[in-house]
Structure 1
Amino acid sequence: MAECRRANLGDKHPCRSCAVSARAVCNTLDVQALAELRNQGGEVRLSQGEALFHQGDRADCVFSLTSGIIQLYALLPDGRRQVIAFHFPGEFIGLCGWGDHHCTAEAVSRATLCRFDAARFEQFARRKAELAQSSQHRLTGDLIAAQNRTVLLGRATARERLACFLHDVHHRSQAGAGAGAPGNVIHLPMSRIDIADYLGLTKETVSREFTALRQARTIRSRPGRQLEILDMARICSLAFGTGTFSESALAAL
């Protein structure tokens, strides 16, 4: 449906060829509303390691990620870092656009985003009930994911945490994969330190658990920072077999 609407846009309109049209927060808008929204915004391109915004910056913009991966992290007073989330194409960043940013957003890989002034986006959403509903749905999903992740970090073993992470990346990658893409191969541009800071583990523990899964022929490394999941049943068993977590809940982590 979203692709059909975008086909009616002008040839030069940037939304016409959007690769995440079916998953973006604006996917419910009709052609006129979509064009109006997009004309209010601009595009941001980031290199790997470049920050979209920093912790403490004024939260005056919201962003729709169209390509690449963005990580959110917070620095503690003693200098330690906690990775809060990884965002994938089609996801929205900064919907709680008021006050100052409580974290830094940094590109894990080259990334492209649509940028909108937060106040203007909120005003636009008030006039477009479908956009407001879509935004609210995403906020609710983010809250549920944060709650589930709290349980994950508090109760799961290192291997269970890594299995949940791999299952989550697979689930979200498949949502954005094109036709014919290998169903068991995921792109992991995150470093071992990034993953460790996300899962509340040490880099050494993450490396050890990756090695254990490779030796058990559950996963296999591939060129280009890709990983092939050889035994999805095993990953699911580790992630969901404790009875503490459900697949539907962890799908949003």
Structure 2
Amino acid sequence: MRVGLIPSEGVAAVLHGGSRQWWDLDVTVDITVYGSTREQERALESGETDIVFMNALSALILRSQGLPLVALTTFSRVRKDILASPKSDATRLADLTEVAVSHGTTIEYYTDLLLQLEGVDPRTVRKVEIASMEGRLDALIDGAVGSAMLPSPLAHVAVQRGARILATNLALDPAPREAYLVAREAWLADHEDEVRAILPYLQRSIDELNADAPTYREAVAQAMGEHAADLPEFELTPIPDLAPCPETTHAAFESWLTERGLLQRPVSYAELVAPIGVGASA
């Protein structure tokens, strides 16, 4: 099973499971960490990877474009922060004139929601497309952009380098569970038993990390690669239990994408979500 990830707190559970060789599970899992959502999408499209932990908006867009993928379970709620550059004078969201995002992803989705929460019309803030998280971090610290949204723990690396957190998606109530475990339908048809087998072990990994902060931090550092040495002490976000994809969340994501013309066609909940995830009937 070839698994694709992008660096965040949420994927720490996958890396932790991998470090334990998935305990006594007789499934070989090869993990690749990608630098951006776009890289991960291309890997899934090309067949380079079999299963990915992908933000729900990307999954909806790709399905609308004809890629036969399905979401198996929600996986995590990743903290994401809007940060001001060290070279910016902004102290609140109302001060922003631009923000670096990755278009059509939960990065942009949460940016819009947080701006609206503070009474700022998202259309009045220029969106600067920087798909790479590394590129967004560098542009923020260098002052090439006045602000950016970054996931944790990369946001904490930015703070260590002088950026300031202006808002976090954890302020949203409830904060949506936006990361999906996604696979191509053709691959899933041949590997459904393996996927069903690994999900309880993934939940076990989540439980262990939530109960053991030092081990959780080690797994986060592993996900961060070269930035591990830059990670300051920060409050870890508890990883939610695996659960079926909520229909209300799907509807909210689909509505946001439709309003922005990012879906080539409607994608229903029943079309995207496979009845295989935790809590689903066999």
- Where on the TM-score scale, by shorter chain, does this alignment land: which range? under 0.3
Relative contact order, CA 8 A, sep 6+: which one is greater? 2
- After TM superposition, the score normalised by the length of structure 2 is 0.25
- After TM superposition, the score normalised by the length of structure 1 is 0.27
